[in-house]
Amino acid sequence: MPPIYLDYNATTPLDPAVIAAMQPYIATHYGNPSSAHVYGRTAKEGVDRARAQVAEILGCTPDEVIFTGGGSESNNTVLKGVAWTYRHKGDHIITSAVEHPAIIAPCQFLERQGLRVTYLPVDGTGQVDPDDVRRAITPQTILISIMHANNEVGTLQPIADISRIAREHGVLLHTDAAQSVGKIPTLVDELGVDFLSVAGHKVYAPKGIGALYIRAGTALEPLIHGAGHEFGRRAGTENVIFDVALGKACEVAKMDLPRYQHEVRYLRDLFWQELHKRFGERIVLNGHPEQRLPNTLHVNFRGVIGAELLDKMPELAASTGSACHAGEIALSAVLKAMQIPPELGMGAVRFSLGRYTTRDEVEQAVELIERTF
């Protein structure tokens, strides 16, 4: 039997409907969407339909969505694009200490170019205080970039509250929604954002495809220059196969969202209840107890190293933190920012459930952990 997969925050398998949607564009519809003949028109129709499907889950218009090579490219496009486009207005960016490396690394790059970046602290649950955002804003602030949901502990950030503050000061707002799209509502007008990043492989589409929402009327210098693809915002011949895949993945995710939120949260909570019943004070929950992704359970096992615990359970696929940190034993930057004591945080394990997780798998995982810990 294959290992029980509880690492959906790292990546997701392709949904069968996504695989089916890709097939015609792999085998038959190979035209360039920029070509005027029937092959090109067929490919363009596929891209247009996919763009509309992504727009639907975000609650925006299709011309506000551009396809990218993934969440990291979407994030880099916003951070570097805003820094370049609005350099005449200011040189200050606000973000948080618990962002994904796809935000932190571009911010560090921009700092080397002379920009100033404020990394806001978080509380013990991993949340940013909107009042800290307000206090950090200066006349030189051009962008606030705060993730929607943390990839490690699952904590949700108060994006709508931060949006109101950004609007008061005329500052653009971006959110990295790689972990939240398809798990919780991500309607851009409810969130109040100007930019929102999507990662395909977190929503049952392939790796190597993403999307970026750019609010209509917002100027942004492209990260990749060339011909006028993606409304002139991202050059390069469209990846039709993967665009179609992401579109279908978003369509399926939107339809499945009510079931997902109810059933996956139930299994996540059952998992925690069973672990707590067996281990009591020897296990500690990380992240916000309520404002958290419905699929994410991040815990500290006292007295062990999380990576070593997982090594003893090859029958269970989970993570010691973000997939980008997998294999490292050092305390993650997220747990450090949450001020988790090192002796406790060393026992951190992230279990992330998904669309195909079953109750039987959860119960087997609990039994396996009990035998191993």
Give the catalytic positions in this structure.
324
Rounded to whole angstroms, the Cα distance separating 45 from 24 reads 13
| CB distance 120 to 162 below 8 Å | no
136 CB burial (10 A radius; 0-12, 13-18, 19+): middle
Q: How many CB atoms neighbour CB 239 within 10 A?
A: 18
Rounded to whole angstroms, the Cα distance separating 11 from 70 reads 12
Structure tokens at 86: 């609005």
Per-residue HEC secondary structure of the chain comes to CCCEECECCCCCCCCHHHHHHHHHHHHCCCCCCCCCCHHHHHHHHHHHHHHHHHHHHHCCCHHHEEEECCHHHHHHHHHHHHHHHCCCCCCEEEEECCCCHHHHHHHHHHHHCCCEEEEECCCCCCCCCHHHHHHHCCCCEEEEECCCECCCCCEECCHHHHHHHHHHHCCEEEEECCCCECCECCCHHHHCCCEEEEEHHHCCCCCCCEEEEECCCCCCCCCCCCCCHHHHCCCCCCCHHHHHHHHHHHHHHHHHHHHHHHHHHHHHHHHHHHHHHHHHHHEEEECCCCCECCCEEEEEECCCCHHHHHHCCCCEECECCCHHHCCCCCCCHHHHHCCCCHHHHCCEEEEECCCCCCHHHHHHHHHHHHHHC
Residue where the block lists tokens 């010691």? 320
In the chain, the amino acid numbered 206 is P
